[in-house]
Amino acid sequence: MASLRSKAVIAKYRMTRRKRIFADARALRQSAESNQTETSQLPDWVRAKFDVTGRDVDGHRCYTLRPRTSAGPAHIFYLHGGAYVHQVESAHWNFLNRLIDVTGASVTVPLYPLAPAHSYRETIPMVWESYEATVGAEAPENQVVMGDSAGGALSLFIAQRLKARGRPQPQRVVLISPWLDITVTDPSMTELDRHDPYLGIEGLREAGRLYARGLDPHDPRLSPIYGDLDGLAPLSVYAATRDVLLADARRLRELTAQRGVRIDYEEYPGMFHGWILQSLPEARDATARIAKLVNVPSPAHR
């Protein structure tokens, strides 16, 4: 059963009409235009708590956060969500703070180019170069690739590209409420949309269109659920039942089962998109589960 605190967050979303951002194409574009800047995206408290290094990659910032004490060997490459049109939010930094506290891992966060000013043509190269320059330089058994929403798709794509290039896989790939198919055409999404307090089908479709900029939306670079799912790192998926993107998570579970690919799959009843970023009992539970995975080598690396 969903906690009272999570129900309060949903009620707040309803009262503030949070879903209006994704209500239609026009609303999505207006929201995107006001969420593009990278300035002041790294809070002062993050710099005060962690050892922070930054670099420019293709004109965009990429930050690495390291714990000042009790640092572990794991290095997480974290790709934030935002439907490819919204910049990293304070909730992301709060989540990463909790994640570092329970894992002792270092975390690299690229502030990748966003649509509509950019498209996959700029986003994917920047993300890949950021990975190569940071986490990709670590031993595979210490690498974890993780992302929420659109960042989940980018995370799965990185694993697919590594396989295609004959490169070692990371220790694990963690997908949180992943947006794996920008066509947004799964039949179950219509019903899910009715109960989702945050995302909306029409807004997502417009975000995907802006990001694709004419490329076939079924291309695995945009929608990695259509890509190769065999021979990848162990996959861990965290999904929510009041999230329109639950459809993508369930499809991934079905496809991997059909191909004999094992994944760790967790579905949180009553949770909403991005719940893990909030200060909720369910978020603490999911973060603790992720921490156990991050700190345990996968069978391929033992």
Q: Is 74 exposed, middle or buried (0-12, 13-18, 19+ CB in 10 A)?
A: buried
- What is the per-residue pLDDT for 297? 55
* pLDDT band, very low/low/confident/very high, at 1 (cuts 50, 70, 90): confident
- What is the per-residue pLDDT for 61? 95
The structure tokens listed for 126 are 């920047």
Q: What is the DSSP letter of 22?
A: G
- What is the per-residue pLDDT for 34? 77
Q: What is the CATH number of the domain that holds 130?
A: 3.40.50.1820
Sorted by sequence, the CB contacts under 8 Å of residue 83 that are 6+ apart come out as: 22, 28, 149, 150, 179, 203, 204, 207, 208
d(CA 145, CA 108): 10
Residue pLDDT, tens place only, 153-195: 999 999 999 999 999 999 999 999 999 999 999 999 999 999 9
Average pLDDT over residues 256-269: 93
Q: Is the pLDDT of residue 296 over 70?
A: no
* Domain assignment of residue 123, yes or no: yes
How many domains in the chain?
1
* Domain assignment of residue 301, yes or no: no
- What is the per-residue pLDDT for 191? 97
Q: 158 is in which domain, residue-wise? A: 4-296
* pLDDT band, very low/low/confident/very high, at 266 (cuts 50, 70, 90): very high
* pLDDT band, very low/low/confident/very high, at 294 (cuts 50, 70, 90): confident
* pLDDT band, very low/low/confident/very high, at 243 (cuts 50, 70, 90): very high
The structure tokens listed for 93 are 């930094």
Residue pLDDT, tens place only, 220-236: 999 999 999 999 999 99
- What is the per-residue pLDDT for 215? 98
Distances (CA, A) of 96 to 89, 111, 289, 301: 11, 14, 14, 25
* Domain assignment of residue 165, yes or no: yes
* Domain assignment of residue 302, yes or no: no
Residue pLDDT, tens place only, 55-94: 999 999 999 999 998 788 999 999 999 999 999 999 999 9
* Domain assignment of residue 109, yes or no: yes
Tell the residue number behind the tokens 């490169």, with chain if given.
Answer: 167
Lowest mean per-residue pLDDT among 1-10, 102-111, 226-235, 275-284: 1-10
Residue pLDDT, tens place only, 114-150: 999 999 999 999 999 999 999 988 999 999 999 999 9
Distances (CA, A) of 79 to 151, 158, 178, 287: 4, 11, 11, 16
Q: Is the pLDDT of residue 299 over 90?
A: no
